[in-house]
Structure 1
Amino acid sequence: MTDTIVAKYWNLLASRHDAQAFATLDSAYREPQRAYHAWGHIVDLLTKLDALAHLPTRADLIAAAIFWHDSVYLTRDQDGRPRTDPENVRASAELFARHSKFDALEELAVNDLIMATSSHMKAKARAEHYPGFSRDLDFFLDLDLSSLAAPWSVFEKNLDDIHFEFGWAPERAFYQGRVQMLESFLGAGERLFRLPESRALWLAHARANLQRADADLREKLAGVNDSN
């Protein structure tokens, strides 16, 4: 991966990882079953972090969490069992730990940032690893949801990419799951984004996208036969 923003932040972090870390990430984000949860998502988050680097206390640790938070992403296991987001997040945190050379406190902070994405809307800092950590966790989670505010064409492509990642799932089950997810985001209201700066940047566009996507998915769901 040669993207400038990736190189910038990996150069900042490389000495705090073992020699195999980046190759591990590069292999993971190029896996053929991925579409949305691939390098493009990581580049998007790093680009936004770079533009908003004045907001967090430890942009370097947030960058580390960005690199690793989706490093394991499978929608089902080899036996066909659907795989949950918390399973993937735990595995991602474990993979980070295997390649980490961060000091103990920083490693705990990055681990907790990664793990927060397993419950996202309900996540809270379990410890203030450094002054400002709770706000950094909130900022990181806002970044991870910022794609909800993308231009509609990008938002729609993101949904298509996620559909590709669940290509094995019956259409009805997939659409029902997406509707449930969108409605949980809409139900959060202003709490969809945690920081006032994030709300000012992304909330209005995100809610417009979510409302439009919810209507579109419900229309698609109505047209799906029970056998699909």
Structure 2
Amino acid sequence: MDTGTPRNDTTADTTALRARWSATLIAAGASGDPAPYADRLLAAWAEPQRRYHTTAHLADVLARIDVLAPYAADPAAVELAAWFHDAVYRPDRSENEERSAAMAERALPELGVDPDRTAEVARLVRLTVTHDPAPGDTDGEVLCDADLAVLAGPPEAYAAYAAAVRAEYGFVPDDAFRAGRAAVLRQLLALPRLFRTPYGTAHWEAPARANLAAELAGLT
């Protein structure tokens, strides 16, 4: 059973990721050469300012999508959205998701992906701003659950995730970070549901809430 456990390092097997990218493009009906965009995306995911939003995070989200794929209406669109959802990431900026969606809107037509699927991918990327898919948005539910499943890892894995997030915000003073992080944790705990898919609800909801509550207690 996938418990949402993140990798302990910040990198993933790029050979496997390149093969996955090519296979996903084929499933999405693309006709262009996948290699140049694989290079660009993997370089983006490996930028030095990243500590959590790395190729390891990308690989973990893709692995969770494999678990949740039966719930998706368009698994290929969900996988492409995973590739792009943090392709642009600057921890000191708020427009990362919008810029990532815009990157998908430029790249996918060049790769021969049809306009409807391109629009769906961009919509899904933008949805990761809130992780709040509308009822019946099964593609959105799968992507958001896969992205948030890190919250449900064992305590030691969750601690590594929290430390990586803190490292990404190393430019923020401790007091300000603790206050901001605590506010985020309270918002998450106040949600009626963190996960929307049946699998996420059954397997990830309870451990995620326990981890969030424990981190909040440690901060406050």
| Structure possessing the higher radius of gyration over alpha carbons | 1
| Worse overlay, 172-181 or 95-104 | 95-104
Match of 2:204 in 1: 202
Give the Cα–Cα distance (whole angstroms) in 1 for the partners of residues 189 and 213 of structure 2.
Answer: 8
1:47 Cα deviation from its structure 2 partner: 1.0
Give the Cα–Cα distance (whole angstroms) in 2 for the partners of residues 30 and 115 of structure 1.
Answer: 21
1:3 Cα deviation from its structure 2 partner: 4.6
Give the Cα–Cα distance (whole angstroms) in 2 for the partners of residues 7 and 152 of structure 1.
Answer: 31
Match of 2:155 in 1: 152
Runs of 4 or more, structure 1, over 6 Å off, are none
- Equivalenced residue count is 201
1:1-228 matched pairs, under 5 angstroms: 2-3=13-14, 6-14=17-25, 16=30, 19-76=35-92, 83-84=93-94, 87-101=95-109, 102-121=113-132, 123-124=133-134, 134-189=137-192, 191-218=193-220
| 1:18-50 residue CA offsets vs partner (Å, 9 max, x unmatched) | 652111111111111101001111111111112
Q: Structure 2: which amino acid aligns with 1:210?
A: L
Give the Cα–Cα distance (whole angstroms) in 2 for the partners of residues 144 and 154 of structure 1.
Answer: 15
CA contact (8 A) 2:158 2:211 kept: yes
| 1:121-168 residue CA offsets vs partner (Å, 9 max, x unmatched) | 3x438xxxxxx7x11111211111111001111111111111111111
Give the Cα–Cα distance (whole angstroms) in 2 for the partners of residues 120 and 49 of structure 1.
Answer: 15
Give the Cα–Cα distance (whole angstroms) in 1 for the partners of residues 65 and 141 of structure 2.
Answer: 13
Give the Cα–Cα distance (whole angstroms) in 2 for the partners of residues 8 and 207 of structure 1.
Answer: 35
Give the Cα–Cα distance (whole angstroms) in 2 for the partners of residues 106 and 27 of structure 1.
Answer: 24
SS in structure 2 at match of 1:210: helix
Q: Quickly say closer, same or farther: Cα 1:109–1:68, change in 2 above 3 A.
A: same
TM-score (norm 1): 0.82
Structure 2: unaligned runs, 5 residues or longer: 1-11
Identical counterparts, % of pairs = 33
| 1:79-129 residue CA offsets vs partner (Å, 9 max, x unmatched) | xxxx12xx00000011112211310000011011000011223x438xxxx
Give the Cα–Cα distance (whole angstroms) in 1 for the partners of residues 138 and 167 of structure 2.
Answer: 34
Q: Quickly say closer, same or farther: Cα 1:210–1:173, change in 2 above 3 A.
A: same
Structure 1: unaligned runs, 5 residues or longer: 77-82, 126-131, 219-228
Give the Cα–Cα distance (whole angstroms) in 2 for the partners of residues 68 and 181 of structure 1.
Answer: 23
SS in structure 2 at match of 1:54: helix
Q: Structure 2: which amino acid aligns with 1:116?
A: L
CA contact (8 A) 2:105 2:119 kept: no
Q: Over the residues paired in the alignment, what is the CA RMSD in angstroms?
A: 1.9
